[in-house]
Amino acid sequence: MSDSQGIKFSKSNFVPGSSDGWVYLNTDGSVKSVDMFAVAGGLLEDHNGNWIVGFTRYLDNCEVINSELWGILDGLQIALDCGYRKVIIRIDNLEAVNLIHEGVRNGSNFTLVRRILLFLKLLRHWNLKYIPKDKN
């Protein structure tokens, strides 16, 4: 499946009312060093670790931090579109966590971080956690 913005996703048969209301958003971004080919993606899970929806986005060429931020942004948009308002975001990039917690006043990440912060304001509750790569 694909939406109008080019985000590819697929869904499970998860029923939103069947959990305590919290979902986990696990995201990752990747850039191939030779040609800077970049992708972002992730998945939503319920509080028991059951898969809800997965997504990917082709980003052409960008830096790793931007692919990580795109993964968070797309994941938050999907969570909100699915009606979830309590999200625990787990990401293996400490720089992305710091940019979101501290905010950005300028630079190439400014617009992405600003959009992420706007989406976070739409949630009832959220938590952003750094999880090392081998545990995410």
> For residue 27, what are the β-bridge partners?
42, 91
For the chain, domain boundaries: 8-135
pLDDT of residue 136: 58
Residue 37 CA neighbour count, 13 Å, CB half: 3
d(CA 82, CA 104): 28
Q: Which CATH architecture has domain 8-135?
A: 2-Layer Sandwich (3.30)
pLDDT for 106 equals 78
Residue ranges for the chain with pLDDT beneath 70: 1-19, 135-136
Q: At what angle do helices 64-81 and 110-122 cross, to 10 degrees?
A: 20
Residue 18's pLDDT is 45
Residue-wise pLDDT for 51-82, tens only, equals: 999 999 999 888 889 999 999 999 999 999 99
User: Model pTM?
Assistant: 0.82
Look at residue 70 in the predicted model and tell me its pLDDT.
Answer: 94
Residue pair 77/69 in contact (Cβ under 8 Å)? The answer is no
pLDDT at residue 94, as a whole number = 94
Give the whole-angstrom CA distance, residue 99 versus residue 80: 21
- CA atoms within 13 A of residue 113's CA, in its CB half-sphere: 17
What is the structure's pLDDT at 95?
Answer: 94
The predicted pLDDT at position 19 comes to 53
